[in-house]
Amino acid sequence: KKQAQQSHVPQALETAKTIGDRKLRIETLGAIAAERAKAGDSKASEQALSVIAEIANRADEQDSAPTPVQGTGAQMVTGAQVIIAQPKSPAVRHKKDKPEISSLEYITEYYINSGDLHLLSKIADKVNDPFRHTLILNKIAQAQIEINHKKAAQATLAQSVGVAKKITNTKDRLQVFSSIASLYRKLEDKEANTVFALAADSARRITDPAERAKVLSTIAKEQATAGYKDSAKQTFAQALAVTSTIMEFSTRADTLRKIVEDQASVKNFDDALNTASRIESVYLRATAFKDIGKMQGQAGHPLAANQTFARALEASRYIDDVDQRAKVLLEINNAQLSALKKP
């Protein structure tokens, strides 16, 4: 840092690169970048940020946390230089660090904690991998939302969507688009539904039909929760269509059971009942009707709940295993008492 203050940036960067502790190396490089930016030396600041981006591009690098820094202005000896860590510096927070945090996570946390979102955005732009790039952008957007910078968050999320479209790994695309949609929801921005559609498109690329149907169902539930009822119905319909391609009996029944749970959880009771009736396993069908009835009762629909509990009891009659049947009957009774009791 002293070298950077004296404009000996190349030497400062080379010294920083030799610091063995990964977290302290990141902090030192961050201090150099901030120092040079403050001094109006944008070129030198960019050089330091590029070195940090190189570390972010090796995001799986991990090491143990360094020894906690104590005192008010503690000294840390690193090679031939001494860095003074002020009390409010992120450098004094190691004792709170999570174990085995990745370099990418630590860089992001460091800059968010220090409030340097602009510099973190510059680092993100230098990260080659689009998945890692979007992870940083989404964290920036989250921080902007928390400080009520709505327009800045919207701009960051729009950038994240553009980068996310370059991700080729299906599960990574799905994770990122789901995260972006969730952040748009926090902003009460209708763009969330557009991103939910991108998430659904990513889900349709999943090769395993059971997993594909379950993920589509989860997205549909999120759409319904966000108020996009029509889009949710379409996505639920896509999930159900996929179940017809699942050849294994128990896997198909389990997948339909998951869709029932998601439909009922967003009070889409009629569709949940129709889905439950398609479950071939009488045990899972009975428990599905039981859960729907319980949710109907809790939602203030006692007559509909009683009708659904009757369907659960009817299905349970065909369970061959005596112990399983007894278990389901007890569960139906308990669910009925819980759902229909007066407050």
Q: For the residues of 266-277, what is the DSSP string, one character each? A: TT-HHHHHHHHT
Give me the sign of the Cα torsion angle 127, 128, 129, 130: positive
d(CA 128, CA 125): 8
Taking only the tens place, the pLDDT of each residue in 67-77 is 333 333 333 33
Q: What pTM was computed for the model?
A: 0.75
R_g over Cα of the chain: 27
Asked whether residue 7 carries a pLDDT value surpassing 90, the answer given is: no
Rounded to the nearest 5 degrees, what angle is found at the Cα of 103, between the Cα atoms of 100 and 105?
85
Residue 52 CA to residue 214 CA, distance in Å, equals 39
Q: Could you give the 3-state DSSP secondary structure of residue 81?
A: strand
Please check whether residue 286 is in contact with residue 332, taking contact to mean a CB–CB distance below 8 angstroms: yes
Residue of 205 and 4 predicted with greater confidence: 205
Q: What are 138-166's pLDDT values in tens digits?
A: 999 999 999 999 999 999 999 999 999 99
Mean of the per-residue pLDDT values of the chain: 82
**What is the per-residue pLDDT for 6?**
45
pLDDT in tens, 220-248: 999 999 999 999 999 999 999 999 999 99
pLDDT score for 26? 73
Contacts of 302 (CB under 8 A, 6+ apart): 296, 340
Report which residue type is found at 140.
I
Dump pLDDT digits (tens) for 252-270: 999 999 999 999 999 999 9
Strands, E assignment, 227-276? none
The pair of structure tokens assigned to 96 is: 């709170």
Length of the chain: 343
Contact 16, 29 (CB under 8 A): yes
